[in-house]
Amino acid sequence: MNRTSALIERRRAFGRGLKNLRGVKTDNKQELLKATSANDSLFDRGSKLWVGEHSGSESGIASISLENASTRNALSREVIGRLRDAVNLLNDSPGIRVVVIQSLVDGVFCAGADLKERAKLTLEQQGDTVNTLRTNLDALSKCRVPTVAAMDGPALGGGAELALACDFRIASQRTVIGFPECKLGIIPGAGGTQRLSRLIGPSRAKELIFTGRRVSAGEALEIGLIDKVDDAEDVVAAAKSFTSDILKCAPLAISLAKRAIDEGLDRSIGDGLEWEGQLYAETLHTLDRAEGVRAFNEKRRPVFQGR
């Protein structure tokens, strides 16, 4: 299947099996009406960012899709807001176990900030926009389930920061990653300086940010900026395949392990070990732990419920 065929098939597939995601956890009627309206808008396939849930053999996977060819998936204020709504929705959807962030525009992941929109904003509005993007990408990084950026084409500026906010990054050979902000008289303002340096080390991060140099998928893999380069025509399929082993594990344990790692990084080793112990203790009384032990003894595959 070539890239064009893969994109067409993905557009057909997304939108199937969305009913489970429309559920809203609230007993308040006004909140329910508001939340349901917000959720429904996220399934609008004509929008610039929308959510789809997979079914069948891909059950448990949800996608956040960027689709705005005219701006190369630039991060407008509308898209930034919808991203936070999507993360909130997926956090409240117990059937979702992995999230893939993808582009449905051939040849680009995300070109970064919508500079044409920014030019029309006051300095205060520009600052507020970047602050909101930073906050929303932080929310993405704390999503309760693993997140994967499926990158096929340029990921620049805010687009690179979007990928950095994910747990994993899978890229095609034609992917390039860059942080051009210093060439524009600014700095990465939505997590780039912090997440990049933690991922590849401060020296390499400074070189990429200070120069604005773009790196190929091969170099990005070599320096640890991405997790895998895939030669397949459909990088989204490669991202789903990458998560197949995650989907076999206990979802609650995965969420707790993610918290243990991410929130432990900002602690001393002693405090981190204590934090790990607290989260481990939470697993002891879960149904999934009992099922895992039972399945091991019975020599069968466990059926986890996320409880």
**Structural domains present in the chain:** 3-247 (3.90.226.10), 251-297 (1.10.12.10)
pTM: 0.86
Q: Which pLDDT tens digit goes with each residue over 151-183? A: 999 999 999 999 999 999 999 999 999 999 999
Place of tokens 């051009």: 180
For residue 159, what pLDDT is reported? Answer: 98
Q: Which residue stretches of the chain have pLDDT < 50?
A: 8, 12-38
Which one of the listed residues 111, 113, 150, 250 is annotated catalytic?
113
Which residues make Cβ contacts (< 8 Å) with residue 54, sequence separation at least 6? Answer: 13, 14, 16, 17, 60, 61, 62, 63, 240
> How far, in Å, CA of 204 to CA of 209, rounded?
9
pLDDT attached to residue 9 = 52
Asked if residues 81 and 41 have their Cβ atoms less than 8 Å apart, the reply is no
**Mean pLDDT score of the chain, rounded to an integer?**
87
The residue annotated as part of the active site, out of 53, 58, 161, 276, is 161
Structure confidence at residue 72 (pLDDT):
93
Point out the catalytic residue in the list 112, 157, 158, 306. 158
Q: Could you give the C-alpha distances from 288 to 62, 91, 95, 249, in angstroms and in order?
A: 22, 19, 15, 10
In this predicted structure, what is the pLDDT of residue 109? 96
Would you call 181 a catalytic residue per the annotation?
yes
**Residue from 78, 93, 95 nearest 44 by CA:** 78
pLDDT of residue 3: 56
Supply the DSSP symbol for 152.
-
Q: What is the pLDDT of residues 177-219, one digit of tens each?
A: 999 999 999 999 999 999 999 999 999 999 999 999 999 999 9
Is 233 known to be catalytic? no
The catalytically annotated residue of 53, 58, 117, 181 is 181
Q: Is 161 a catalytic residue?
A: yes
What single-letter amino acid sits at 232?
A
